[in-house]
A and B are shown apart, each in its own frame.
Chain A
Amino acid sequence: MKFRDDIFLGLGIIVSALAIYFGLYIAPAEVELGELVRVFYLHLPQAIICYLSLVISVITAILFLVKKDPKYDALSESAALLGLVYGATTLISGSIWANAAWGVYWNWDPRETTTLILWLAYVGYFFLRMSVENPERRASVSAAYNVLSFLTVPLSYLSFILWPSLHPRLGTEGGLGLNSTMVQALLLNILGALLVFIWIFRKAYGVRLKRDELERLLSEEMRDAS
């Protein structure tokens, strides 16, 4: 486990460093956006990983509801934590880009608004977890809430199809026109971010298991004392 963790971390750092260098210095500027397109190489992988984390989180939440195995609750919470962090960086990097491209940090574009709703829904998930003391009840209630809050993920993803939006799209008329070097830079950045994500996810899951172990030891101590 430890050796495999180190491989993911090492590969993640190497691929990410190469990908960032490739995206920032080798890939050419875009016709309309110019140098600003380089924000996209960092922003899109973060958004993809945010969605991926929340997909993992909801799948493991459903598995918990079906099988009642605590390991699925641990996986679900760990993935939701990463979804929250990557969601925050997606929102902030998106608004930095929006300010440069549209002149304002926030303009309630459907993509921005629905992603903010998604993020707030998962902030609620952690508040819910903090508010329930009983571990079994906490796991069941938060898994059910997770399934409901996951509805915000397709809403965010499809928002620019459902409503008129300024958010750029790949390969559409008026959208970003990326040549093959730019696509390579994008794919390399996605791969690098994915490897780093796998390492952090495994680490977060490991920490969550340790917390469960400590809670178990403490409850045994309390039971023995009474």
Chain B
Amino acid sequence: MPAEVVQVLALYLLAVGGLSLWLFKRGSDLDKKISERVKKR
């Protein structure tokens, strides 16, 4: 298999995986901040 195919596959997995992880992290950070604010009230 040509190296270009592997590069494009790695790029796709990195972009989709990276975005998903970032969304997970951002989502859980926001959940934490929201529950802190709600508890404060």
Contact = CB atoms under 8 A, between A and B. Distances in A.
Interface residues of B, dominant DSSP? helix
A218 B37 contact: yes
Interface stretch (A32-40, A138-146, A157-165): A32-40
Given A200-B23, A203-B27, A217-B34, A89 B4 contact: no
A43 B8 CA distance: 8
A46 B12 contact: yes
Interface string A81-97: 01001101100110011
A24 B5 CA distance: 8
Contact of A96 (B4, B26, B34): B4
B19 A85 contact: yes
Nearest to A218: B37
Contacts of A100: 2, 4
A210 B37 contact: no
Given A35-B1, A89-B15, A217-B38, 19 more contacts: A24-B1, A24-B9, A35-B2, A36-B2, A36-B5, A39-B8, A43-B8, A88-B15, A89-B12, A93-B8, A96-B11, A97-B4, A196-B16, A200-B16, A200-B19, A203-B23, A211-B30, A214-B34, A214-B37
For the complex of A and B, list the 3 residue pairs with the smallest distance between their C-beta atoms, beginning with the closest: A210-B30, A93-B8, A217-B37
